[in-house]
Chain A
């Protein structure tokens, strides 16, 4: 990089001529120059550089893709600021070809879907799979992926990882102290009491700076108590959905935990800080997802042995049985509709869904992918083993919710309110009223596109 002062001044002097051209700051519809058929095409890939890093793409997916498409030049990129970096490119009409639209700074799927920016990946599902010409792609993946990635009847978003949510603990700490994973809420509270009295560590914590970790388990519990419809109604912005009796029950229970059993300082700590505290045996349990073990690998003691248990039975007459799990596809890959090389993008996703790619990925980042049977024969870490066992035990009793990816404003309100609930700033009733009010506001707002499930 060298710009001499003279060059700079010359450039400045030339600008008036160019000014007329550029003064209009409107987005230009650019016709991609790389459209020439048959020629060597480029494939621009952007990976969210988060808990899984971005190496899996360069080490696993891209070599596999190149093995079938050697002429395509893969341009690998990664960032933590997906929105900042890529939103202007969407608006400018030249988005990249494959995006892992994940993390805290991901782009709003609702906005992208509403504006027709996403390529319909329906045809991908009907294509022959990478490994076996006779099997369609859709038969190789967990059906929840299709359900979850569908907006208004079109399959837009490919979740690649199967996130499994629950309460995480150290099997070593539990064994050493004679504690057992609780099956009922009373057991859970009794366990919290025991741990608190033992003085060895705090019973419970969550990522206080990010209360979505807590409303996750609160909502899952509400679904367990009141049935799947609790979450469906919330997703569909039904009147009074947030104020359902099951929601009140769940909110009341967690407010009690907030008042009595939280680790000191929880409200001001983030996920890393609380998870690290757990690794140091300062706190016994926290709610999280199956990415946890990989995320913590650098601070976890070798004999820590992560374990996970599902939401306990609460009322004795819960609608869903013990073992009910919240599972949700994550690491969301999209192909922009206006990308230069959409076909290449689709093929890239197809390569990702091969058994080899998914298996190597699972091994590399210690997690469960959405490709059926990709984890077979792999040596699993304690946490993944525990989560996989929970999935097997849950069978078809899995729940999920989608409102937070549809309505970003509602998510922010729920985050703010949940933080208040856990620190005693609002009562459970007020808590639900508050989120309900926001849900109604969004329902009335004609500028926000609504989705149904």
Chain B
């Protein structure tokens, strides 16, 4: 009895808050997805699954899905690879494989910096960095060298890569810290043993470090995957025409937002949101499933 009362008393506040502020609005959104609500009237009209039929033929939305898929394929891999290498260098990359390289304390502090900046700030900052003329941080030196300025955000075939670069720029530092933590927990003896076996730093990285960081890398992959499937703030604030030029950088979240707040098609936007919800959920479930199976094989 005491136990029951305890369970109830500990759960009642968080669950109630969560139901009222999170579940109720989303339940409403799932309902709105089956209406033609335009956001301003009080009585949405129920239209069943019509919105879902319509989104199947929505070229822009599927283009956005494609961009998310590309981000999902590359962002976690690149970020994790960079972070692993940096973490390795900062922790065991030094002479003798027992300490970090020279200056690693400084680097570790510095690399985390982008993580503490608000995403909107990062977006505005890089808008200036990417300016297409000689007032741009990157183009000024290019033009000084007599090269043509690069349309980092204005060239449709480059813009998405600029978006990805910014996402990576911001994310890497956090995973350096995460992986450093993982490395710190690996017993020193393992490195020493490998070294006695004559392993170089390269082979030590692949034979000792990587396998032992498996679990942490796994977590990182799921987090980064969720970031890749969102990417809203950077795209919306940084790119031209909110996902342009010519929709070359748009992502699912941006299309949801556009349909809701610019086209005033809240019903349709909610339907897009429901689809995105299942994509993200599917990704998360799949990654967790895959990892479990691999572990059994081991």
**Once bound together, how far apart are the Cα atoms of A15 and B16, in whole Å?**
7
Q: Does A73 contact B (CB under 8 A)?
A: no
Task: Name the B residues within 8 Å of A114 (CB-CB).
Answer: 38
Q: Mark A354-372, 1 if CB is under 8 A from B, else 0.
A: 0000000000000000000
Q: Does A16 contact B (CB under 8 A)?
A: yes
**Once bound together, how far apart are the Cα atoms of A108 and B260, in whole Å?**
11
Task: Name the B residues within 8 Å of A26 (CB-CB).
Answer: 28
Contact partner of A419 (CB less than 8 A), chosen from B24, B245, B258, B265, is B245
**Once bound together, how far apart are the Cα atoms of A19 and B17, in whole Å?**
8
Q: Does B67 contact A (CB under 8 A)?
A: no
| With known contacts A90-B39, A208-B154, A84–B261 Cβ distance under 8 A | yes
Q: Does A447 contact B (CB under 8 A)?
A: yes
**Once bound together, how far apart are the Cα atoms of A446 and B247, in whole Å?**
25
Q: Mark A19-59, 1 if CB is under 8 A from B, else 0.
A: 10011111101000000000000000000000000000000
**Once bound together, how far apart are the Cα atoms of A93 and B42, in whole Å?**
7
Q: Mark B258-298, 1 if CB is under 8 A from A, else 0.
A: 10011111001000000000000000000000000000000
Contact partner of B20 (CB less than 8 A), chosen from A15, A268, A269, A425, is A15
Total residue contacts A-B, CB cutoff 8 A: 124
| With known contacts A19-B20, A267-B154, A416–B245 Cβ distance under 8 A | yes
Question: Contact between B24 and A15 (Cβ–Cβ < 8 Å)?
Answer: no
Q: Does A184 contact B (CB under 8 A)?
A: no
Contact partner of A209 (CB less than 8 A), chosen from B20, B40, B155, B240, is B240
Question: Contact between B245 and A267 (Cβ–Cβ < 8 Å)?
Answer: yes
Q: Does B149 contact A (CB under 8 A)?
A: yes
A340 CB, nearest partner CB in chain B, Å:
16
Question: Contact between B19 and A29 (Cβ–Cβ < 8 Å)?
Answer: no
Contact partner of A409 (CB less than 8 A), chosen from B40, B152, B263, is B263
Looking at B16, B19, B41, the one whose CB has the most chain A CB atoms below 10 A away is B41
Question: Contact between B151 and A268 (Cβ–Cβ < 8 Å)?
Answer: yes
Question: Contact between A268 and B263 (Cβ–Cβ < 8 Å)?
Answer: no
Q: Return the chain A residue nearest B132 by Cβ.
A: A268
Per the 8 Å Cβ criterion, residues 132-165 of B in contact with A are 132-133, 139, 149, 151-156
Question: Contact between A19 and B41 (Cβ–Cβ < 8 Å)?
Answer: no
Question: Contact between B154 and A91 (Cβ–Cβ < 8 Å)?
Answer: no
* Chain B at the A interface: SS class: loop
Question: Contact between B263 and A23 (Cβ–Cβ < 8 Å)?
Answer: no
Q: Does A125 contact B (CB under 8 A)?
A: no
Q: Return the chain B residue nearest A20 by Cβ.
A: B20
**Once bound together, how far apart are the Cα atoms of A93 and B149, in whole Å?**
51
**Once bound together, how far apart are the Cα atoms of A408 and B261, in whole Å?**
11
Per the 8 Å Cβ criterion, residues 66-111 of A in contact with B are 83-84, 87, 90-93, 105, 107-108, 110-111
| With known contacts A87-B39, A268-B132, A447-B265, A15–B246 Cβ distance under 8 A | no
**Once bound together, how far apart are the Cα atoms of A423 and B240, in whole Å?**
14
Question: Contact between A111 and B40 (Cβ–Cβ < 8 Å)?
Answer: yes
Q: Does A417 contact B (CB under 8 A)?
A: yes
Looking at B131, B245, B261, the one whose CB has the most chain A CB atoms below 10 A away is B245
Q: Does A241 contact B (CB under 8 A)?
A: no
Task: Name the B residues within 8 Å of A447 (CB-CB).
Answer: 36, 265, 268
Question: Contact between B38 and A111 (Cβ–Cβ < 8 Å)?
Answer: yes
Question: Contact between A25 and B12 (Cβ–Cβ < 8 Å)?
Answer: no
Q: Does A378 contact B (CB under 8 A)?
A: no
Task: Name the B residues within 8 Å of A112 (CB-CB).
Answer: 40
Task: Name the B residues within 8 Å of A111 (CB-CB).
Answer: 38-40, 263-264
Contact partner of A416 (CB less than 8 A), chosen from B19, B139, B241, is B241
**Once bound together, how far apart are the Cα atoms of A27 and B266, in whole Å?**
14
Q: Does B13 contact A (CB under 8 A)?
A: yes
Question: Contact between B38 and A115 (Cβ–Cβ < 8 Å)?
Answer: yes
Question: Contact between A27 and B133 (Cβ–Cβ < 8 Å)?
Answer: no
Q: Return the chain A residue nearest B47 by Cβ.
A: A447
Task: Name the B residues within 8 Å of A19 (CB-CB).
Answer: 16, 19-20
Q: Mark A190-209, 1 if CB is under 8 A from B, else 0.
A: 00000000000000000011
A83 CB, nearest partner CB in chain B, Å:
5
Question: Contact between A265 and B246 (Cβ–Cβ < 8 Å)?
Answer: no
| With known contacts A90-B39, A91-B39, A114-B38, A23–B24 Cβ distance under 8 A | yes
Task: Name the A residues within 8 Å of B93 (CB-CB).
Answer: none
Task: Name the A residues within 8 Å of B12 (CB-CB).
Answer: 16
**Once bound together, how far apart are the Cα atoms of A415 and B250, in whole Å?**
15
Question: Contact between B151 and A115 (Cβ–Cβ < 8 Å)?
Answer: no
Contact partner of B149 (CB less than 8 A), chosen from A25, A87, A264, is A264
Task: Name the B residues within 8 Å of A23 (CB-CB).
Answer: 19-20, 24
Question: Contact between A91 and B41 (Cβ–Cβ < 8 Å)?
Answer: yes
| With known contacts A25-B25, A87-B40, A111-B264, A417–B133 Cβ distance under 8 A | no
Q: Mark A300-327, 1 if CB is under 8 A from B, else 0.
A: 0000000000000000000000000000
Task: Name the A residues within 8 Å of B246 (CB-CB).
Answer: 416-417, 419-420, 425
Q: Return the chain B residue nearest A111 by Cβ.
A: B264
Q: Return the chain A residue nearest B263 by Cβ.
A: A408
Per the 8 Å Cβ criterion, residues 229-256 of B in contact with A are 240-241, 244-247
Q: Does A392 contact B (CB under 8 A)?
A: no
A152 CB, nearest partner CB in chain B, Å:
16
Question: Contact between A12 and B13 (Cβ–Cβ < 8 Å)?
Answer: yes
B57 CB, nearest partner CB in chain A, Å:
9
Task: Name the B residues within 8 Å of A425 (CB-CB).
Answer: 156, 246
Q: Mark B28-62, 1 if CB is under 8 A from A, else 0.
A: 10000000101111100000000000000000000
Task: Name the B residues within 8 Å of A273 (CB-CB).
Answer: 131, 133
Task: Name the B residues within 8 Å of A3 (CB-CB).
Answer: none
Q: Mark A338-381, 1 if CB is under 8 A from B, else 0.
A: 00000000000000000000000000000000000000000000
| With known contacts A25-B24, A265-B149, A416-B241, A91–B263 Cβ distance under 8 A | no
| With known contacts A25-B25, A420-B246, A117–B16 Cβ distance under 8 A | no
| With known contacts A12-B13, A93-B42, A425-B156, A83–B20 Cβ distance under 8 A | no
Interface, chain B (partner A; CB < 8 A)? 12-13, 16-17, 19-20, 24-25, 27-28, 36, 38-42, 130-133, 139, 149, 151-156, 240-241, 244-247, 258, 261-265, 268
Known A15-B17, A108-B262; 10 more pairs at CB < 8 Å = A22-B20, A84-B261, A92-B42, A108-B263, A208-B240, A267-B151, A267-B155, A408-B264, A416-B246, A420-B156
- In the complex, 19 of the A-B residue pairs with CB atoms within 8 angstroms, ordered by the A residue number, are A15-B16, A15-B17, A15-B20, A16-B12, A25-B24, A91-B42, A108-B263, A111-B264, A115-B41, A209-B240, A264-B149, A268-B130, A268-B132, A408-B262, A415-B244, A416-B246, A419-B246, A425-B246, A447-B265
Instruction: Report the 5 A-B pairs with minimum CB-CB distance, sorted nearest first.
Output: A268-B154, A268-B132, A111-B264, A265-B132, A265-B133
